[in-house]
Each structure stands twice: as C-alpha cells, then as structure tokens.
Amino acid sequence: MDSETCKKELVIEIPPDIVRQEAEAVTAQYRRVARIPGFRPGHAPATLIRRRFEEDIRSEVVQSLLPKYFETAVKDQKMSVVGQPRFSDVKFVEDQPLTCKAAFEILPDFELKDYKGFEVSSDPSEVTDDDLTQALERLQERAATFEVVEGRTAADGDYVIVNYHGQEVGDLKVEPIEARDVMVHLAGEGTVADFTENLRGAKPGEVREFQVTYADDYSKKSLAGKALSYRVEIQGVKKKVVPALDDEFAKSVSQYQTFAELKAKVAENLVERKKHAVEAGAKQKLLEQLVSKHEFPVPELMVEAQIDAKLEGLLNRLMAQGIDPRAVEVDWRKLREDSRPDAEKDVRGSLILEKIAEAEGIEVSEDEVDEAIRDLAEEHREAPATLKTRLTREGNLSRINQKLRNQKALDLIYQTARINPTTEPASDQERS
C-alpha cells in the first residue's frame, strides 16, 4: 500500500485447470441455448460453440473468476476493501494461468489514541429576551401578507411587481436578461439603488426605462462592472402587512388561544434548541480534537462520497428555498476542491468513531434503527415501511446503523469530557 494513501495493488493468478473448468461450464451453457444452423439446440459440437462465441465465453469466464479470486486474496491478507476494484492487464492464454492486476483502496489500519478525558469550552446556553423577540418576529414575517396599494404611487418599503428586459449597453451581441413577475422591494436590503430610485413613484401600467451601472464587486459576477439598459413594465404595487402580536395572531399560527401561551411555548422551544445546539457545538470541538490526534491516510473514494453528500445537501437547501441551482453563479469545480480538506477530516473522524465503537462494544438495536427511519421518513414525507424497504434494497440500511453507532461513540466521548462553559452573558434584568 502507498504509505500516504490507501491505494493497493494485487496481482491475481488463477490456475489453468480452474480456468479450463470454468470455460467448459460457460461453453456448456451456450451450447444449450445457442441456435446454430444445421444443428438442433444443444447438439452443436462444443468446439464449434467455442469458435463462434469465443470472445463472449472468455469475457464471462473473466467476469466470473476474477471477483471470486480477488475476494479470496484480500480476505487472506485481512484487508477491508473500500468500493470496487479496478482490474487491468488481463492476460488470458489457453492452458496458462489467467492473470491480472487489481487496483483498489482499503480502510486504513491505525492506532487508536486516548479519547477520554478531553476538555473543551462550550458556548453560553442562556436564551435572552432578544432571542425570544427575534423568534417571534420570524413568526410574524412568515404570517405576513401582501396587499395591493391603492390611492398612491410606489414608495420606499413597497414591493413593486415588474416584468423587465435588460440589455448590456454598447454590446447588443450579449444575450439580454429578462424576467416576469419579479418583486422589487424598494429601498430594501439587497435591492440595487438604481432600481429603487427609478421605480419610486411608479404605478401599475407604467413603463420605466433607465440605465444601471453595477459595481465591480457586485455579488452577481456576470453583472459586475457592467452597465445595462432596462425596460421595466410595472404590473402592480403591494405593501407587506405584518400581523400584530396578539391573541388573534396566536390562533392563526398555532393551536394556542392566547399570545401568552404561544410566547411561553416559543421560549420553551428556544431553550431546548439552544441546549441541543450548545451540546452539538461541544461535541464538534471534541471530534476536532480527536481528529487532530490521529494522522493516517483516508480512502479517496470515501472522501469523494463525502464531498458528493455535502454538495447534494447544498443543492437541496437551494431548491427548498425555491432557487434553481443552475441559476446560481457558483464555480462548482472550485467549490468541490475547496470542500476536500473538510471532507477528509469528516471521513477521518468517522473512521476514528467506528474504531472507538468497536473498542467499547457499542451496538445499535433494531428499534433504534427503526426510530431513525421514522424520523427520516417524516422529514422526506414518506411512509417508514416504504423508506426502509428502499434503503434495504439499495444497501444503505447499514449506513444508518453506522451513523447511530458513531453518534453513540461521540456521546461517550462527551460524557467523559470536561465541558467548561464560557462566561454567561448578563440577563436583561441584570443589565437594567
């Protein structure tokens, strides 16, 4: 094995008599079903079958024997293979051994360092009045409605619904940008100032034409430093109406009858979430300490899979926000490479936790796996039984078991660690 990677190569050699037996067995199968002019099915001479289907027979012999002998070879050498091997330099000559090279990756063998008695600091766990206020404001925002503005023109704070056509000034060869039913928040955060200035005072049915020069550091790289001429059709003007924090609001967004009840529940949920967040942060610090104590190579296949999972998560979050990933200006290749160092640490951490779980005899019950599947099914709005069947069919059920086992190993590290809370911020009453 390469000392700096988990790559391995083996030369596989299969005895001539085994190859001959397999070739004869495959030939017999072809002979039973082959249709050869002048012969009834199953009665054509074996020599004729071998000549007619020589390449197919050789291919099936290779595909049948190589995986079996590869599996035996790695088992004899007590290697844990990651992914599938890549066979090359296959040499198949009659009455000679069948040989080839197998390139593959294996799980690293490393010495487990001390993992108990770590010491880390944790973030404050207190929920402040500001936290509660912000949580209630987020509920307000989600319950907000948009009403048509009547009796006046568009003003700052309004939302102007427009169709627009933008063309780069001085270069008509560049594809214009067009959009329909776009909502422009006048003077809103993120709204280009020229749009606010030129749409202020607008009313439905109007057409406004103006030029916008984008800053060199504008967030959308395709527009940075460019000047575009816009033709904007005003479709409508609306204002956001945020409900008051009262009993009616509580009834409209929850099962509670009073705002006091809703506020108490929101505060309770905040305390629980903050507690979990603080614990998760401490566990992450512990895992980082653990990883820093272990230096060993990790399989490239596992790193690539971790990067895939990270990017898939990003894509899912974008789509959940209604954003088309194809419209986002991201250098996906660079993002993939930038994600590699963290992905390597994630894989190394996972392998360390697996070894700790093995050392501690940690197991996961079937009930725990079923509970995790129920949570996952609820998240994806799928029947638990259907999800479990699919995971089993795709061979991914073991991943859930492994994830739960690793979580238990990290819980053990957390329970044996010394957690030092940082200084708690003064409460609102203490500050007053």
Mind listing the pLDDT tens digit for each residue in 256-283?
A: 999 999 999 999 999 999 999 999 999 9
- Is a pLDDT exceeding 50 seen at residue 133? yes
**Mean pLDDT of the region 392-401:** 87
Mean pLDDT of 85-107: 93
- Residue 403, pLDDT score: 94
Query: Is 80 exceeded by the pLDDT of residue 430?
Result: no
Question: Counting Cβ atoms within 10 Å, is residue 302 exposed (0-12), middle (13-18) or buried (19+)?
Answer: buried
Q: Name which residue leads in pLDDT, 417 or 222.
A: 417
**Closest Cα to residue 27, out of 44, 39, 5, 8?**
44
Q: How confident is the model at residue 124 (pLDDT cuts 50, 70, 90)?
A: confident
pLDDT at 221: 83
Question: Quick one: pLDDT at residue 3?
Answer: 57
CB 106 within 8 Å of CB 299: yes
Checking if the pLDDT of 321 tops 80, the result is no
pLDDT, mean of residues 5-10: 92
The three-state secondary structure class of 309 is helix
- Evaluate if residue 324 carries a pLDDT over 80: no
Q: Are strands 7-14 and 177-185 parallel, antiparallel or unpaired?
A: unpaired
Q: What is the pTM of this model?
A: 0.77
Asked whether the predicted pLDDT for residue 39 surpasses 90, the reply is no
Instruction: Indicate if the pLDDT at residue 414 is higher than 80.
Output: yes
Mean pLDDT, the chain, integer: 90
Predicted confidence band of residue 143 (pLDDT cuts 50, 70, 90)? very high
- Structure-derived torsion over alpha carbons of residues 276, 277, 282, 285, reported in degrees to the nearest 10: 140
**CA 385 from centre of chain:** 23
Count the alpha carbons within 13 Å of 12 in the hemisphere toward its beta carbon: 30
The pLDDT assigned to 371 comes to 93
Give the chain's domains with CATH numbers: 7-106 (3.30.70.1050), 119-125+260-421 (1.10.3120.10), 145-241 (3.10.50.40)
- Residue 50: pLDDT band by 50, 70, 90 thresholds? confident
- The amino acid occupying position 260 is A
Q: Residue 95 gets which letter from DSSP? A: T
**What is the rounded CA–CA span in Å between residue 5 and residue 26?**
39
